[in-house]
Structure 1
Amino acid sequence: MTPVAGTHYLAGPVIAFAVIAGLALFLRWAFRGEPRRRPAADDGLLTRVATLSGRESALALRAVLSDAGIRSTVRATGAHRAEVLVFPEDADRARVLASSFPAG
């Protein structure tokens, strides 16, 4: 049986469209943005020593820690929340200072 005249010209575009559609569906599945699939916040090498009600308070605590020779950083976790993180070897000293900090 012979193919209908002109149908073999449709094979290329149909195959290309099918491949692109398949890739689009795979990428949509692979990169869907479900919150339950996201990993928890990773602190890496740092340890949280305080959670404060504002960035300004966290920066003030960071200055106190810096005066004591403790390296620290601030991470904003919400609109009115900030965490102060330090290296594990300084965590005990930093917690003592944070507990006596008035904004803590």
Structure 2
Amino acid sequence: MPIGAGSSLHYLVGPVIAFVVLGLLALFMRWAFGTGYGRDRVRRTATPPADDGLLTLVATLSRRESALALRAVLSDAGIRSTVRCPAPHRADVLVFPEDAARARSLAAIFPGN
């Protein structure tokens, strides 16, 4: 078999192709599953949620622990609720609209306010 001038580097072709494919795959994965930096990300984290969906805000407390205690009181009364912490030192308690009046009356007498 004749040996050509460029055949001494043939053992590098396979690994070079593999590294190029892995690099392209890594770039694609970063693009497809990235968190999205830039103006969009800052805008989303800087503004509080404007829509509570199906839930109604019944109380805003300064500590998450107090909000969880109020949530336990509401749960004992048979009211489903959730806690949202939109900012440091702020916790919102949300309930469904049909339970909002009862939840507000319980929140008014709750000592954690």
Query: Normalising by the residue count of structure 1, what TM-score does the alignment of the two structures yield?
Result: 0.64
Task: Name the structure 2 match of 1:86.
Answer: 95
Cα distance in 1 between the residues matched to 2:11 and 2:21: 17
Structure 1, gaps ≥5 residues long: none
Structure 2, gaps ≥5 residues long: none
Task: Name the structure 1 match of 2:75.
Answer: 66
Describe the SS at the equivalent of 2:93. Answer: strand
Cα distance in 1 between the residues matched to 2:26 and 2:13: 20
Q: Report the number of matched residues.
A: 103
Give the % identical residues.
68
Residue 36 in structure 1 maps to residue 38 in structure 2? no
Which stretch has the larger CA shift, 31-40 or 77-86? 31-40
Query: Normalising by the residue count of structure 2, what TM-score does the alignment of the two structures yield?
Result: 0.60
Task: Kindly report the root-mean-square deviation, in angstroms, between the aligned alpha carbons of the 2 structures.
Answer: 3.5
Task: Name the structure 1 match of 2:9.
Answer: 7
Whichever structure has more helix as a proportion of its residues is 2
Describe the SS at the equivalent of 1:51. Answer: strand
Cα displacement (A) at 1:46: 4.6
Cα distance in 2 between the residues matched to 1:9 and 1:43: 61
